[in-house]
Amino acid sequence: MASKDGDAANKFLFSFSASTHNNDAAKEGSSPYWDELWKGGMPAGEAFDAPAGCEALRRYLETMDLKGDEVALIPGAGRGHDAIVLAAHVGRVVSLDMSPHAIAAAKAWHAEQASPGVDKVEFVEGDFFEHEGAYDVIFDCTFLCALHPRARERWAKQETKLLKPGGRVISLVFPIESSYRTSAIQLVRYYMAGPPYTISTALVEQLLNAEADYETEHCSAEHPHLAGNPMGATSALLVLKKK
């Protein structure tokens, strides 16, 4: 039986694909479509919103030797659930989203929930590609897959620019292109047309290593948060350290 998180992912994949396959701006990741989703009052736990945060991130952070004063960035953070997960381990988190309605929803949600560590989170409205700063950790939670393939090199350049030497990119890689249990026609219809666009851990490594030297510190197996989606795609947690 699919998990609640898996069911939420399923709804998102179908609704998002149906709404954006013919929208080139959306495929660039800079479409007002994202803001329209939040403007409509997206309930917590619906579509791609996961109030528990990323469990794979939580587990990995518990294994890291962090000092507790690190500064972290989450691009495309939405309601900022993963920011709370990160805030338990670092000194400050920038939860970045281009949608003003997402930022408003994040602030309202965490104030209502009295989320622990929220005082260490800064909810920022802005475009990832124009963002400035220096970070010890960047958590890319299914952010790359929402961008058109032609934006991938820009993504890698910006991640590398924002990351300090010795810093880490933690990426939830989804949907992994080799993991489908479906027909080629369905694959093209739902994923190759994008978004979300199929990616792989090897692709993420290749993109980032084209900009700087990165060491792969961790690459997990399938992550259950997005398991059970209708097209059979899997995800993995990948951690790359910038040398």
In tens, the pLDDT along 61-78 reads: 999 999 999 999 999 999
Prediction pTM value:
0.81
**Over the Cα atoms of the chain, what is R_g?**
17
**The two structure tokens encoding residue 162:** 């924002």
Looking up tokens 């939580």 gives 58
Q: What angle do CA 187, 188, 193 make, to 5 degrees?
A: 120
**Domains recognised in the chain with CATH numbers:** 4-242 (3.40.50.150)
Distance CA 193, CA 92 (A): 37
Q: What is the chain's mean pLDDT, rounded?
A: 81
pLDDT digits (tens, 9 = 90+) for 150-165: 899 999 999 999 999 9
Helix 32-39 to helix 100-113 angle, to the nearest 10 degrees? 40
According to DSSP H, which parts of the chain are helical?
4-20, 24-27, 32-39, 55-61, 81-87, 100-113, 152-162, 184-187, 201-209
